[in-house]
Amino acid sequence: MIELVKVEKRYSGNTVLDNISTSFLTGKTHILLGQSGCGKSTILRLIIGLESADNGEIFVDNKDVSLISRIEISAYFGYVIQDKTLMPHLTVLDNILLPVRARKIATDSVMEHFDFLKKLVELDDALEAKYPSQLSGGQKQKACLVRALILNPPYLLMDEPFSALDPMIRSALQVELKKIFAELEKTVIFVTHDLNEASFLGDEITLINSGRIIQKGQIQELKSNPGSEFVKSFFEAQSQQF
- What are the strands, taking DSSP E only, across the chain? 2-11, 14-24, 29-33, 55-60, 63-64, 77-81, 155-159, 187-192, 204-209, 212-217
C-alpha 122/C-alpha 116 separation (Å) is 10
Please check whether residue 76 is in contact with residue 60, taking contact to mean a CB–CB distance below 8 angstroms. Answer: yes
The correct pick among 13, 88, 106, 125 for binding another protein (CB under 8 A) is: 88
Strands (DSSP E) found in 108-186: 155-159
- 75 close to 154: Cβ distance less than 8 angstroms: no
Q: How many residues at the interface with another protein, by CB under 8 A? A: 26
Q: How far is the CB of 111 from another protein (least distance, A)?
A: 18
Closest approach, Cβ 105 to another protein, in A, equals 10
Q: Which of 31, 32, 48, 205 binds another protein (CB under 8 A)?
A: 48
Q: If binding is defined by CB under 8 A, does position 71 make contact with another protein?
A: yes
Check residue 50 for interaction with another protein (CB under 8 A).
yes
3 state SS of 152 = coil
| 1 neighbors 63 (Cβ within 8 angstroms) | no
Question: Using the rule CB under 8 A, is 77 a contact of another protein?
Answer: yes
Residue selected from 1, 26, 35, 103 as contacting another protein according to rule CB under 8 A? 103
Q: Which is nearer to another protein, 34 or 99 (CB)?
A: 99
Q: Which of 22, 74, 196, 210 binds another protein (CB under 8 A)?
A: 74
Which CB sits closer to another protein, 59 or 131? 131
C-alpha separations of 118 from 64, 128, 145, 153 in Å: 33, 10, 10, 16
Q: Which is nearer to another protein, 4 or 47 (CB)?
A: 47
CA distance 144 to 233: 35
Q: Which is nearer to another protein, 133 or 240 (by Cβ)?
A: 133
Q: Which residues bind another protein (CB under 8 A)?
A: 48-50, 70-71, 74-75, 77, 79, 81, 83-85, 87-91, 98-99, 102-103, 131-133, 147
